[in-house]
Structure 1
């Protein structure tokens, strides 16, 4: 409002100067040179008035646009920064490669940031990254510590009670990774044995439900993050690491001895990843879904998939050799935000 008041005062001053300039040639028109000078002053004052009025209108429009913003977009506008929740070791979705956060999901997150910059008219908008885990990502979102999280977060019906989810960008099966010489091929083989998963994940819920329903008496440990869970398997503190199929393929591919491990087991279920943001934020939902949908129907999503799942990726040039599934192909053809559980 202060900006609008200043521009209003400036325009009024310009109007007064124009009137004074208009009066001068009438009073002294007997002198041709003086009349021409006055007319020149009138034209200059008029041009100044029009320029100032245009500038003032633009400023008022900008101010009005800012006042119309709501939710996360308003927060980002007012803060001058967007805060992304990122993962350290969700290969190849969101992970630290030694220099930057990279990955399939991280690329989508940065495409969303570019769209936010355009929408807000803020090309120099700052981007801050905050590392999150499966356990703390939702509390950090609800406490406004992050604005958006596009990592490896499963969209479930239960989670809709506390957060909102974008259109899905990846569909996968829940399976396990074991040592090749373990003799384990399916989940019944885990009866009475030590098994690890990651705390705060939908996989943990599925695994504990299986343990109860099938009376397997597994000794389940919930690790802080994916890397810690895989470490438990490598150190033989667990015989299996149950997690999203692409995640365990990522750990297998990046291990110095990948042939020591195998991904196996009848899927416990199928789930989808999506970006997570605060509930009731329709402007942000529309923006995020627009970016994801355009990528999927244009073919960009399939190109991005091939880059991160079928080609060498940083930092060591490993290849997950994880071809596009028919489920993901169908998802790309028909973008949607449905949970699968």
Structure 2
């Protein structure tokens, strides 16, 4: 959807329902199921219900034509047993993504059918790419989704976070699982600017593997053409100075953490909640990093849920940026 149409649609929604939305980014409130009052009785006032709204637009207003909305989202791999199955979570995720309509989404953990489900739910205005971490279409994906009206892929690729990065399914450094990166060089159709999008998921067990992975990402980025970079991912490390990975990527690699650079910021939570109560100011494992030439204007952790059902065990993180 073109930015001017999105802006007009969003502004209309904002004016229409700002005063009556029961909780932006929170639970969708169901209508009353009680009996109607007797004829002629005044009864209690009827609640006013409006559609849920984009959390980013509530925080920062409609996007300008030069703004690029980016999301990182660990989807939680699809499961069919127990609580929080993919069948239960998919409709909530569909609503969240439809509301937010990011221009660029770096996802993690999506299984092949799950990636196809997300693609179907996003609709014809989006495309995606990325191999599975076992090679081909096998295993979890670091799929990147993008708005085709806004962005065009010039080239893309994948590499594995191992001593043999071009070998699909390769594993090194004591990593508990195969880990990888999916990346692309994009052109922004609205401005003609080019930039790299890079998406990853670091190991959840081995700090040594995470450190080596961060060094490989840093080395790979250094070999790219000197253009802006947006790095999305689940880093399985706290987004602060206690994390060796964060220090490496925001120090030696020269990237900037948009959570700390954006002047407008939503409430802070632990980004991994495991379907439990949110933890204020908890560990932030999901980050969006950029080169210093990219300007972040607003960022948030999206807490959207429907009748208590979250779309994933992670909160998606969204940032609004502007390319140089």
Structure with higher Rg: it is 1
Same fold by TM-score greater than 0.5: no
| TM-score, normalization by structure 2 | 0.25
The structure with more strand, counted as a fraction of residues: 2
The structure with more helix, counted as a fraction of residues: 1
| TM-score, normalization by structure 1 | 0.24
